[in-house]
Structure formats: structure tokens, C-alpha cells
Structure 1
């Protein structure tokens, strides 16, 4: 599965799990744009992703992690989260 399609599916699953309609995103996006994202036709900017996630009350990384997990090349969700934890930890300056 392509990443855009996986992202669209993840976005739609989060939206539906939260009981939201595409119209509930009208303060930050048109229904048409949200539909194109969910169908995997477009990719959002980081700012748009943050706005979409805020409407759903989830962290933007949750949507991205779900997308990469759906894409299927992560070795499972736990492996993906462990990799993210290690990479962020090694890239962050120690205090």
C-alpha cells in the first residue's frame, strides 16, 4: 500500500473512531479536501496535519504512526514505536 493511501485510511479510521463527520473539520478544512486526503489523493502539510489531529484530539504522530503501520513495512506497531523511541532519544540533546 502506498503511503498516501495508508495515511488516508488512518485519518478516516481516527475520524470515525471519534464519531466525527467530514463537516466537523470545517473550521480548518473543506469537506472536499478532507475527502481527497482520506482517498489517498493528496498529502497534508505539517500544519494541516496538526490541525486535523487537534480536531480529533489526538497527537499528529499517532496518525502518522497508524499510517506507517497500515503501510505494512514496520514490523508491527510495537516495533515501530520502539524504533521511534530510540531514534528520537538518540537525536535529542541530553540535558
Structure 2
């Protein structure tokens, strides 16, 4: 059974990898909110996710990719290939309309 995607774990991992404290996000979020996000008690909106990623200096898709691949970074290639394939298909469908 595949592991469930975890934005909470990805957020915590990137924050720690960047050497940032929860307080480093004070311009966009409270420490309490960050703690709630990292414990999976709350889910960020897309706008909030973008703001958090700006503080960490990563693209939001990087964080979401990490949420889906977790401890298996080699899975990122497979996932990104799937995304590219789906985007191509959707683009072709959209262009035909």
C-alpha cells in the first residue's frame, strides 16, 4: 500500500533542510499556525502554500512533489514524467477545442 501524501512532513523537512525556525515565517504566518501545519492539523490554501514556499525559496511544486514521494526521492522522476505526460495530454485536448 502506498504511503499517504503528507504536506505536513514535506513542509517540516524543507524548513529544517533550509535551517529555518518556525519563527522565520512570521511575515506570512504565526508560529502556532506553522506548528499546526507541520503536525497535519491544518491544511494551507494554495496562496498560503505559495507564501510559505517563498520564505523557503522553493517552488510550491517542489514541496508538493516531496509530499508525494516522501522518503523515496527517486520516485520524483516517475512522478514528474507522469505530470509532464498529463500536461501534454491536457494541452492537446485544450488546443483542439
Give the drift of 1:16: 0.8
Give the secondary structure class of the aligned counterpart of 2:58.
coil
Distance 1:66 1:35 in 2: 19
Alignment of 1:71-90 (within 5 A): 76-90=75-89
Match of 1:58 in 2: 58
CA contact (8 A) 1:2 1:71 kept: no
* CA RMSD of superposed structures (Å): 1.9
Number of residues of Structure 1 aligned to a counterpart in Structure 2: 90
Q: Deviations over 1:13-53 (max 9, x none)?
A: 11111111100000000000000110111110000000000
Give the secondary structure class of the aligned counterpart of 2:19.
coil
Runs of at least 5 residues in structure 2 that lack an aligned partner in the other structure: none
TM superposition score normalised by structure 2: 0.82
Distance 2:4 2:71 in 1: 7
Matched, 1:68 2:61: no
Alignment of 1:7-86 (within 5 A): 7-70=7-70, 76-86=75-85
Distance 1:89 1:52 in 2: 29
